[in-house]
Chain A
Amino acid sequence: MGVTRTCLLALVMSTLGVLGQSRAAPADDSEAIMHAHAAQDAAERVARWKDLQHAIFGTRALKDGAGVIQIEAPEHALDAALVPITLTMKSATPIKGLYLVIDNNPSPVASHFTFGPRADPRSLKLRVRVNQYTFIHAVAETADGGLFVSQQFVKTSGGCSAPVGADNAQALKDMGLMKLHLLGTFTPGKPLQAQLMIRHPNFNGMQMDQITRNYTPARFIRTIDATYDGSAVFHLDSDISLSTDPVITFGFVPDKQGTMQLVVRDSDNALFNHSFDVPAG
């Protein structure tokens, strides 16, 4: 009987299709209209950042980050779940931290890096989930407590609910596996860039499992600690906005041949620990 009903339904639907009604009308909103009404959103965006600034930094003043911090992100990101962000920093006063804020994500503070004595904080790359059209703010904190902000607008949406993969079991497989690629030649005392890849689904609790029809419980990386021969490179406080299988490119200054140690802790308090020889053996 169920089959009969399905067939009937299909017949009715295809008949309706034949009858017409399925033709698409031409799009009637032009770029010109979009520009004319951008101002309405602009005021709201400014208000949103004001709210966030207050929630994150309280009454501390933020200065224009031009010349100190630069943020690069694709204006039209192809995949909202994998938006590549490049941060470039330059400052006479050492930079001790960095906040990455995705204004319109429900949990806006995507990352807070604290740099250690072995860090080279001039360049940092990572990938994030973006839920809807948004400003992304990067705030660099200097050793004397100065805060410098830059912003970039990103047009993409749906990153929060985008599924991690075809099935969750596969996504959880190999969790905690890490790779570290050195992006350059090791010279003692000279800054070196390294690309860290971590296998982790970083489930944010908003992804629907298409098989069970339930939301997959959130399970995400909370902290990453990178140390070189026991001396800190960076500490990262992270959140659900970090992409699945995070890839972080960071700089460090290896004074001599040594070991890079990575400690990753997730929201289930699972601890993943890997060490890499520098240069690779």
Chain B
Amino acid sequence: MRASFLAGAGSLACLALVCCLAESAAPAAPVVPEPAGYWMGPTHGPVATSLTGGTVIHTRRLAALLKTGAVMVVDVSEAPRRPANLAADAVWLPLPHPVIPGAVWIPGAGLGAISPTVERLFRERLAQGTGNDPTHRLVIYCHRNCWLSWNAAKRGISYGYTNVYWFPDGMEGWRAAGLSTANAEPLLP
């Protein structure tokens, strides 16, 4: 036990060192292959550059696509949850959540292991937003370097949607391009 604790502390020290090094020279993004199933690892980190069965889309093309008409946009970012045991006088002030205008926000839809209630909600909202048309264009995003949207897009493809776009630039890329946003509330089961 003692040894593992010390080993843990050692690796943390290494991490801190890497952080310092990262300041001077940003390392090149590692190439991450697509996992066979859903991504079960940490949510945030380097992501794959492709999505089998779907299309990777970046900011400028997405902005153009959204001008062409019927596109359903889904944000699958997490929503902050106030812990029940947070001190009563603690400052709890989640930021307003900006989305691509018109997007629906479904937290939890991109987890590697999705809960049945969220999955039902996700399926229903996709059916509703696409008018039950599997060829309807569907854009899924969360943040830059976030696997939730990759998983959710893959899930959408598994439901039979044939025009699924994954937008890996996420809200950071969208805002960086100066494009407008709207605030949204999360859809929760």
Contacts and interface: CB of A to CB of B under 8 A. Distances in A.
Given A78-B19, A109-B90, A14 B52 contact: yes
Contacts of A40: 175, 178
A108 B20 CA distance: 24
B78 A206 contact: yes
A89 B158 CA distance: 55
A22 B53 contact: yes
A41 B178 contact: no
Report the interface size class on chain B: 35 or more
Nearest to B96: A44
Interface string B63-101: 000000000000000101111111100111111000000
Helix, strand, loop or mixed for chain B's interface?
loop
A74 B19 contact: yes
B28 interface: no
A247 B5 contact: no
A17 interface: yes
Nearest to A55: B91
A256 to B, nearest CB: 29
Given A29-B169, A29-B173, A240 B86 contact: yes
B136 interface: no
Contacts of B158: 9, 13
Given A48-B95, A239-B90, A28 B19 contact: no
Contact of A21 (B43, B55, B169): B55
Contact of A26 (B9, B54, B58): B58
A27 B178 contact: no
Contact of A161 (B43, B52, B178): B43
Contacts of A213: 111, 113-115
A150 interface: no
Contact of A24 (B26, B50, B112, B172): B50
Contacts of A210: 40, 111-113
B40 to A, nearest CB: 6
A24 B93 contact: no
8 contacts: A17-B52, A34-B176, A55-B91, A106-B82, A179-B6, A213-B113, A222-B87, A239-B86
Name the 3 nearest CB pairs between A and B, nearest first: A158-B44, A218-B83, A205-B83
